[in-house]
Amino acid sequence: MLSSRSDLPPSGAVLPLPMMSAGQVGEIVRLCGGRGPVRRLTEMGVVPGAWIEVLSDGGGPMIVRVGGTRLGLAPGIARRVLVRPR
């Protein structure tokens, strides 16, 4: 996880969702993986161009907010979401 200002990615960098910390917001850039996982993410509103906020990133599912919806994403699914932090 990103722990200090020196650990922040360069401006405009794209990284996997689990690299973001609680409180960070980013724009979803791309979904990686097979049809099944990508379709499931899309059905939940996790789509390129949407903004995602990390609410909780400690142990277990990652809790995020996309639009007005709170979601729990398992670590394997969260890694498929590439974001550009704001």
Exposure pattern of 25-62 as b/e (b: 16+ CB <10 Å)?
Answer: ebebeebeeeeebbeebeeeebbeeeebbbeebeeeeb
Beta-bridge mates of residue 27? 51, 84
* pTM score, whole prediction: 0.83
Q: What is the pLDDT of residue 3?
A: 41
Summarised one tens digit per residue, pLDDT across range 5-20 is 445 555 679 999 999 9
pLDDT digits (tens, 9 = 90+) for 24-72: 999 999 999 999 999 999 999 999 999 999 999 887 899 999 999 999 9
pLDDT of residue 7: 52
What's the pLDDT at 2?
43
